[in-house]
Amino acid sequence: MLTFQRPLNDCNLLERYFGGTDEPWTDVQKREVSGKLTYGFCTGPATNFPNLLPDNCDSSVVAAKASEPEMWKGVRCTYQDNLVNVYGLDTETGRARSPWDNVGVQYGLLAFNDGIISFHQFAELNARIGSHDTNGVIVPGQRARADPDAVRIAYETGRLNTGQGGLRAIPILDLRGYTDGICTVAPCPPRDPTNVDVHDGYHTLVARARLLKANGNTDNHVRIVTHEVGHRGPNSILGIVSPRVVAQVDTWLTDMLADRSETPQAKKVATHRPADFVDACYTAAGAQITDMDRCAELFPIASDARIVAGAPLANDVLKCTVKPVDPNDYAVTLSAEQLGDLRRIFPEGVCDWSKPGVAQVPLAGTWAFYSGDAEVRYLRPAN
């Protein structure tokens, strides 16, 4: 949920900024800063998940608040309030601790370094982009500060999936119908830039990067991408391919189960993976392609605003460690005046992506049981 929601939050900030600036931005520049294949991601599907708003409640809760306002007046439906038993309460505000943070994030850094946006655009964007407050209201020029305890808890309890715990010892099939830049539900304009899906394919690469970081390999991870034609029915390419690859997972698991040796489970996963079960993509005609460079040409995927800001592909830093503004971060030589501007925009420093994030700790355990106010116990330790 954290990895899913954050690019949507950043899209919200970008759209608010672009709508209020006199600085001319082209669609290409907006797209490159957002990290998406089309900026329509930010103006389309990203608007459908206002999970930082206290009133983003289920209709039954909305009705209850309207009929009995006194009884329900304290109910808040933000992401963090919904998980107050996990994150606990901030003793000063009485509200759920928040894991959302963008202090030090240099939005558009890679786009600036690639010469796609000017220094003025880069500086103004970061000076004004702002953040959401505890009520989901965007405050221009003010960055969000996560509660360090909330960040720690997110890592310890697996709120941010790091690839640790049980994931290192089970087969994982990542099967996606491609929805990053095409019409997915007929009838619709074939190049409608807003008709893309929030489940874009870069999440697969993020998941794989986390598995690699946590375990040193991705032997247990298979990536399958299919052309998606209209609805995801049994006659779509996704519908045709799905039972085939699930059957291969079944073979994989069956062979693992039959292995009664003392071999560690993670090793069994690698040993019994079917030799022909490899990363692949499937065209509209159903042809299988195992050359993933070719697949990347047929089914291009993008990233998100944090990766454009320099975050690693694992995208696992909730609150970055900061460093002073560093001239070496930029592809062009900045003047003393320009460096001074950046130091004023980032008085606490900018993200140092080479270091672990603030309170970035290992997974504490699996099968968590919550008893309220951030109290948790685990059936098993993480390792």
Residue 269: the pLDDT is: 95
**251-258: Cβ within 8 A, 24+ apart:** 252/171, 252/277, 253/171, 256/171
Strands 138-139 and 172-177: unpaired
Residue 233: the pLDDT is: 72
Task: Please list the pLDDT of the chain residue by residue as tens digits (383 residues).
Answer: 899 999 999 999 999 999 999 889 999 999 999 999 889 899 988 899 999 999 999 999 999 999 999 999 889 999 999 999 999 999 888 889 999 999 999 999 999 999 999 999 999 999 999 999 999 999 999 999 999 999 999 999 999 999 998 888 899 999 998 888 754 444 444 445 556 788 889 999 999 999 999 999 999 999 999 987 555 677 788 889 999 999 999 999 999 999 999 999 999 999 999 999 999 999 988 899 999 999 999 899 999 999 999 999 999 999 999 999 999 999 999 999 999 999 999 999 999 999 999 999 999 999 999 998 899 999 988 87
Q: Please tell me the distance from the alpha carbon of residue 235 to that of residue 63, in angstroms, as a whole number.
A: 41
Residue 184: the pLDDT is: 45
Residue 194: the pLDDT is: 58
Residues 6+ apart with CB under 8 A from 321: 351, 352, 355, 356, 357, 358
Take residue 158 and report the two structure tokens written for it.
């697996």
Residue 358: the pLDDT is: 97
Residue 355: the pLDDT is: 97
Residue 193: the pLDDT is: 58
Q: Please tell me the distance from the alpha carbon of residue 283 to that of residue 178, in angstroms, as a whole number.
A: 10
